[in-house]
Amino acid sequence: MQFFEKNENVPLPDMDIQWHPAFCAAAELELSANRAELDFRREYNLSKKPLQIDLLVIKKLGNARIENQIGHIFRQYNIVEYKSPDDGLTIDDFFKTVGYACIYKGLGETVDQIPADQLTVSLFRENYPRELFRSLKRYGLKVKKKCDGMYYIAGLFIPAQVIVTRELEGPQHRSLRVLSRNALEEDIRGFTEDARRIEEHGDRENMEAVLQVSIAANPELYERMRRKYSDMNEAVRWLMRDEIEAGIQKGRQQGAQMGRLDQAKETAYKLHDMGLPMEKIATAVSVSVETVQEWLAEPVALGK
């Protein structure tokens, strides 16, 4: 988390953004209205050797109706593949995902334990996959636009859909739209406002995971919004309160054990990046507010 005064002359470090865990969190948020009827299994191993599905969604009750549009195609066993904004989506990626579904079907403990007519495939990508759709049509498959951002692929024995997250409309899809290097201010604003109303622990953890990646991918936008909206920091701190409290506790423990000025400074920098008020930072590292302010004014603090 980086909510701090930036030195414009110091370049932001390259970051290896973990898009896939955040996508799984966003997918669970999208389908949270049916949480009781669904079983989410992240990075599901298809075999003893590493061969993983990004997300396997299993209906606990076969007749459960999924409220969110992205789940209208779902049957009992649903294979989900996610492509980050830096990834492409080719015809081979499509058939690889269909292949995952076939392998999953073939790995049941008993014969036909996983019926073929209870499988679906969903692929998520931010941008419209023009070349993929052209390739599918060359193979005799039909691409049908179900609604904005949702495209059904007809002609396979397994129902399949491609979700273009940038095209999705409505507040129910904010968690997917903010997973972008070009997130929109209105989506971020709506997402953080939604976060303040969430009390269910699992949903809050998922929103935190999505928010962390969204901030990492759009640091300048979040910084501008922090300055523009007085309640942005409050919303983020509320959402991240468990992590902040853990940071305070860790800081106290490290301060007691190490007793070194450098360690106390490092802890103060981290807590400041997480948006903690000066008073709480000072309490966490056992120094005065004035001392914390002096540390954060040093060039090393601005370049972190």
pLDDT (tens digit, 9 = 90+) per residue, 3-54?
Answer: 434 444 444 444 578 899 999 999 999 999 998 999 999 988 876 666 789 9
> Could you tell me which of 93, 100, 82 has the C-alpha nearest to residue 26?
82
> Could you tell me which of 82, 17, 13 has the C-alpha nearest to residue 44?
82
Distance CA 149, CA 124 (A): 10
Distance CA 20, CA 171 (A): 21
20-to-2, 124, 167, 186, 294 alpha-carbon distances in Å: 21, 11, 19, 23, 39
Residues 6+ apart with CB under 8 A from 274: 1, 3, 237, 240, 243, 244, 247
Backbone phi, psi, residue 90, to 5°: -105, 175
pLDDT recorded at residue 7: 45
pLDDT recorded at residue 299: 60
SS3 15: coil
Distance CA 33, CA 257 (A): 46
Domain(s) labelled CATH 1.10.10 in the chain stretch across: 242-302
What pTM value is reported for the model?
A: 0.71
* Record: fold of 242-302: Arc Repressor Mutant, subunit A (1.10.10)
Neighbour-count burial of 63, counting CB atoms closer than 10 A to its CB (0-12 exposed, 13-18 middle, 19+ buried): exposed
Residues 6+ apart with CB under 8 A from 14: none
Distance CA 32, CA 245 (A): 26
Describe the chain by its helix, strand, coil percentages, rounded to 5: 50, 15, 35
**Are 210 and 26 a contacting pair, CB within 8 Å?**
yes
**Are 59 and 75 a contacting pair, CB within 8 Å?**
yes
Instruction: Render 86-110 in DSSP notation, one character per residue.
Output: T----HHHHHHHHHHHHHHHHT-SS
pLDDT recorded at residue 301: 42
pLDDT recorded at residue 158: 96
Residue 128 DSSP one-character state: -
| Ranges under pLDDT 70 in the chain | 1-15, 47-50, 231, 233-261, 299-304
